[in-house]
C-alpha cells in the first residue's frame, strides 16, 4: 500500500502561508498518533558542523518544539557525537557548536541532550533482523525517549549520494562505534594533486594518514573508511578507491536506521526540508552553493517514502537525475531499496499537498 507523504511548496505569498505555518501544517497532517501526553520526545536533528550554515534554521525547529508541546509532549533536541575530529566529537564541543548556531533555549524552546553521552560511549545494542548485522548500536537517550520527531535537511552526500531521513536515523542515532560499523569505503591519494596541506592528517579519526615528504599516504589497515579525508581535502587529491563497494555502506545504513526505530512505541514523525540542497552534508565545515532551487517541505511516518518523494521532487525541479550526475559512482537508491526490503517503509507513496 502506498504511504502518504505530505507536501508544501516553498513559495509563499501571504502571512498565513509562511514557511513556519507550512511546517505546522505538515506536522499536523502526518503526526496525529506520534506523541502522547507526557512523552519525553526526541527531536532528532543535525546542528551543523562549525563553519556550515545550511543546517535547518532554529526558528523552524521552534515550530516542531511548539507542536510537540501542544500535543502534551516534553521535547528535547538531540544528536550524537561524530566519528571524526571536529566540533561535535564530544558533548561539550557539540553543545557549544549548537548554541553558536542559534539552537539555544531562548530560540528553540527546548533543551539539548546529546544522546550518546559525554564521549559517545552511551549506547544500547538493539537486536535487528538484518542480512549484514544481528544488532546495531543506538544512542541510549534515543532508545529511552518515548516519542520521536526526525527533522532532516535533504542534500547530497559524498558516500551515500544523498542524505535524508534514512541517513539521519542511521548515522545520526549511532554513537561513534556505530558510525564506524557502517563505514566501509577505501580511499586512495593522488600524489600529483596533493599539496601537502595536512588537513586529512589532522582530521583522520584513526591516525591512518601520515605525511611523508609533504604528501599524504593512507595506512589501509588503520583506515575505517569514514570518508572524512575525502571531504576535507581542498585539492580533490583523495578519491574512493576502485575496490570500494558503497552499496554495502548503504545497506549498513539501512540496518542502522531500522535499529533506531525498531523499538518505538509510537510512529516516528519525519519532516524533510528540501531547501539549501547543497552537494555535501552538514558535517562539512562549509556550505557550498545549492545545486537546485528550493523545493519545499515534506512529512510522513514512512522514512522510505519520504526520502523517495524528496528525490523525485528534486529531480523534477532540476529536470534531471541530480544526485546521479553529482555522484555517478554511487547507486543512491540502494539505501531506499534495502530499507524497503527490511520493512522500514515503502517506495510507493502518494503525495498529498496540504
Ligand atoms: S577514510 Fe580512512 S584515512 Fe580517511 S579520514 Fe577516514 S579513517 Fe582516516
Ligand atoms: S588534505 Fe588533500 S591536499 Fe591536503 S595533505 Fe591531504 S591529500 Fe594532500
Per the structure, how many domains does the chain have?
2
Ligand 1 pocket mutation, candidates 179, 199, 202, 209, criterion most atoms within 8 A of CB: 209
Predicted confidence (pLDDT) at residue 263 exceeds the cutoff of 90: no
Q: What is the dihedral of CA 253, 226, 90, 135, to 10 degrees?
A: 30
Predicted confidence (pLDDT) at residue 6 exceeds the cutoff of 80: yes
Condensed to tens digits (0 to 9), the pLDDT of residues 198-212 reads: 999 998 888 999 999
Region 334-346: what's the mean pLDDT? 98
E runs forming strands in the chain:
3-9, 40-44, 74-79, 112-114, 123-127, 135-139, 147-153, 155-157, 161-163, 187-189, 209-212, 215-218, 238-240, 269-274, 296-300, 349-353
Are both 304 and 159 inside the same structural domain?
yes
Are both 171 and 232 inside the same structural domain?
no
User: Is the minimum distance from the CB of 101 to ligand 2 under 6 angstroms?
Assistant: no
Quick one: 172 exposed, middle or buried, by C-beta within 10 A (0-12, 13-18, 19+)? buried
Confidence of residue 2 (pLDDT cuts 50, 70, 90): very high
Are both 154 and 293 inside the same structural domain?
yes
Q: What is the CATH number of the domain that holds 269?
A: 3.40.50.11440
List the one residue out of 291, 335, 351 whose CA is nearest residue 163: 335
Q: Which atom of ligand 1 is closest in space to residue 227's alpha carbon?
A: 1
User: Is the minimum distance from the CB of 238 to ligand 2 under 6 angstroms?
Assistant: yes
Confidence of residue 89 (pLDDT cuts 50, 70, 90): very high
Are both 223 and 257 inside the same structural domain?
no
User: Is the minimum distance from the CB of 311 to ligand 2 under 6 angstroms?
Assistant: no
Are both 81 and 163 inside the same structural domain?
yes
Per cent of the chain over pLDDT 70 is 99
Per-residue model confidence (pLDDT) at position 32? 85
Region 49-62: what's the mean pLDDT? 97
Final residue in a domain of this structure, among 199, 221, 240 = 240
Predicted confidence (pLDDT) at residue 242 exceeds the cutoff of 80: no
182 CA from centroid of ligand 2 (Å): 24
Final residue in a domain of this structure, among 207, 225, 240 = 240
Ligand 2, atom 8, residue with closest C-alpha: 194
Say how far apart CA 69 and CA 61 lie, in whole Å.
13
Predicted confidence (pLDDT) at residue 240 exceeds the cutoff of 90: no
Final residue in a domain of this structure, among 202, 220, 240 = 240
Are both 132 and 53 inside the same structural domain?
yes
Are both 288 and 215 inside the same structural domain?
no
Are both 174 and 231 inside the same structural domain?
no
Ligand 2 pocket mutation, candidates 192, 235, 236, 285, criterion most atoms within 8 A of CB: 235
Lowest average pLDDT, out of 70-74, 134-138, 230-234, goes to 230-234
Say how far apart CA 14 and CA 77 lie, in whole Å.
30
Q: Which residue has the higher pLDDT, 242 or 335?
A: 335
Parent domain of 129: 3-181+245-353
Predicted confidence (pLDDT) at residue 84 exceeds the cutoff of 90: no
Q: What is the CATH number of the domain that holds 213?
A: 3.30.70.20
Altogether, the residues listed in the chain come to a count of 354
Condensed to tens digits (0 to 9), the pLDDT of residues 130-176 reads: 999 999 999 999 999 999 999 999 999 988 999 999 999 999 999 99
For residues 202 and 149, the answer to whether their CB atoms sit within 8 Å is no
Are both 196 and 339 inside the same structural domain?
no
254 CA from centroid of ligand 1 (Å): 22
Q: List all residues whose CB is within 6 A of at least one atom of ligand 1.
A: 187, 204-206, 208-209, 218, 223-229
List the one residue out of 260, 227, 277 whose CA is nearest residue 339: 260
Does this model's pTM top 0.75? My answer is yes
Confidence of residue 292 (pLDDT cuts 50, 70, 90): very high
Per-residue model confidence (pLDDT) at position 228? 85
Residue 134 CB contacts under 8 Å (≥ 6 apart), including other chains: 127, 128
Are both 16 and 96 inside the same structural domain?
yes
Ligand 2, atom 1, residue with closest C-alpha: 233
Are both 146 and 232 inside the same structural domain?
no
The residue whose grid cell reads 547530497 is: 156
Quick one: 347 exposed, middle or buried, by C-beta within 10 A (0-12, 13-18, 19+)? middle
Are both 227 and 340 inside the same structural domain?
no
Amino acid at each position: 500500500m502506498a504511504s502518504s507523504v505530505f507536501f508544501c511548496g516553498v513559495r509563499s505569498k501571504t502571512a498565513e502561508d509562511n514557511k513556519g505555518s507550512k511546517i505546522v501544517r505538515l506536522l499536523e497532517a502526518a503526526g496525529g498518533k506520534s506523541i502522547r501526553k507526557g512523552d519525553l520526545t526526541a527531536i532528532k536533528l543535525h546542528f551543523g558542523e562549525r563553519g556550515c550554515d545550511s543546517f535547518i534554521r532554529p526558528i523552524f525547529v521552534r515550530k516542531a518544539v511548539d507542536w510537540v508541546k501542544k500535543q502534551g509532549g516534553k521535547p528535547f533536541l538531540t544528536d550524537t557525537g561524530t566519528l571524526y575530529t571536529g566540533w561535535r566529537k564530544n558533548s561539550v564541543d557539540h553543545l557549544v557548536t549548537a548554541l553558536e548556531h542559534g539552537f539555544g533555549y531562548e530560540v528553540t524552546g527546548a533543551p539539548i541532550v546529546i544522546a550518546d553521552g559525554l564521549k559517545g560511549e552511551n549506547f544500547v545494542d538493539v537486536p535487528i533482523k538484518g542480512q549484514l548485522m544481528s544488532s546495531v548500536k543506538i544512542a541510549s537517550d534515543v532508545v529511552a525517549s518515548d516519542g520521536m520527531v526526525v527533522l532532516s535537511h535533504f542534500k547530497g552526500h559524498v558516500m551515500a549520494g544523498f542524505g535524508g531521513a534514512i541517513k539521519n536515523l542511521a548515522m545520526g542515532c549511532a554513537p561513534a562505534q556505530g558510525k564506524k560499523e557502517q563505514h566501509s569505503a577505501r580511499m586512495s591519494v593522488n600524489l600529483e594533486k596533493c599539496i601537502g596541506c595536512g588537513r586529512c592528517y589532522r582530521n583522520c579519526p584513526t591516525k591512518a594518514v601520515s605525511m611523508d615528504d609533504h604528501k599524504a599516504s593512507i595506512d589501509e589497515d588503520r583506515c575505517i573508511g569514514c570518508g572524512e579525508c575525502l571531504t576535507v581535502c581542498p585539492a580533490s587529491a583523495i578519491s574512493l578507491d576502485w575496490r570500494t563497494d558503497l552499496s554495502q555502506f548503504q545497506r549498513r545504513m539501512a540496518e542502522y536506521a531500522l535499529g533506531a526505530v525498531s523499538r518505538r512505541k509510537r510512529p516516528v514523525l519525519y519532516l524533510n526540508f528540501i531547501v539549501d540542497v547543497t552537494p555535501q552534508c552538514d558535517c562539512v565545515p562549509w556550505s557550498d552553493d545549492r545545486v537546485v532551487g528550493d523545493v519545499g517541505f515534506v512529512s510522513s511516518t514512512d522514512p522510505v517514502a519520504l526520502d523517495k518523494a524528496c528525490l523525485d521532487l528534486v529531480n523534477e525541479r532540476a529536470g534531471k537525475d541530480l544526485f546521479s550526475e553529482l555522484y555517478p559512482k554511487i547507486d543512491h537508491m540502494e539505501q531506499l531499496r534495502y530499507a524497503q526490503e527490511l520493512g522500514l517503509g515503502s517506495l510507493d507513496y502518494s503525495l498529498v499537498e496540504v
